[in-house]
Amino acid sequence: MTLQDSLDKLKERIEGGMPPQIVNIMHQATADLEASGIGEGILKVGDKAPEFKLPNQDGNLVSSTELLKNGPLVVTYYRGAWCPYCNTDLGNLKRYTAELQEFNATMISVSPQIPQYNKQITTQQRLNFDLLSDSENNVANEFGLRWEMVDPLKSLYRDSFGISLPNYNGDESWTLPVPARFIIGTDGIIKYAEFSIDYTKRPNPDVLVKALNEI
């Protein structure tokens, strides 16, 4: 079963138990984000990648510059521990760590949530790569991924789902990153890039192995 097969089954189960009006709000918010043109500003292959130094799940700073001294860097952006689609994605990604290491590549995942929640997911899923905290989505903004959640989606998450982004992220901005994956070469240039404005859609992680093989 591919990652997308798993995500499709998850979506069917989640949305199948929701009232139509709630599902409509979620789908409309995704459509509005796509229509906003955010995808046009997301970094592409050939662009210079932002340099960053962010705390991992243990609070230790991780430097992209230092990691790139060892080989290519695989950066995946996810929304947070509260997102079942992102958690499914992380669980699939960990299966590919060994293959990526054959190319001397290091994989990290980044979200705006505080280290406490990254630690929680790392432990629960027994992840074998670092989860970094991007406060206020500042680095995500440099990649072109940051967007702000507004009503009615914001009220739906807060009041109906009990998901408070300020609690998870440690700031009041209600911003999130578009889920994305990048491969950054040792020269700091992006060699592979993809993003999913529809957060329920993700490519199978084996595309990362294929991309590294072609670099």
pLDDT given for residue 184 in this prediction: 98
**Could you give the CA distance from residue 153 to residue 20 in angstroms, rounded to a whole number?**
14
Pair 118, 111: CB distance under 8 Å? yes
pLDDT given for residue 70 in this prediction: 95
Strand pairing report for 175-177 and 146-148: antiparallel
CB atoms within 10 A of CB 88: 18
pLDDT, one tens digit per residue, over 83-109 is 999 999 999 999 999 999 999 999 999
pLDDT, the chain, mean: 96
pLDDT given for residue 89 in this prediction: 95
Helix ranges (H only) for the chain are 3-16, 20-35, 64-67, 84-93, 97-101, 115-125, 138-143, 153-155, 165-169, 206-214
Tokens at 114, concatenated = 């505080």
Give 46: exposed, middle or buried? Use CB within 10 Å, 0-12, 13-18, 19+: exposed
Q: What's the whole-number mean pLDDT along residues 21-32? A: 97
pLDDT given for residue 210 in this prediction: 93
Name the band, by pLDDT with cuts 50, 70 and 90, for residue 1: confident
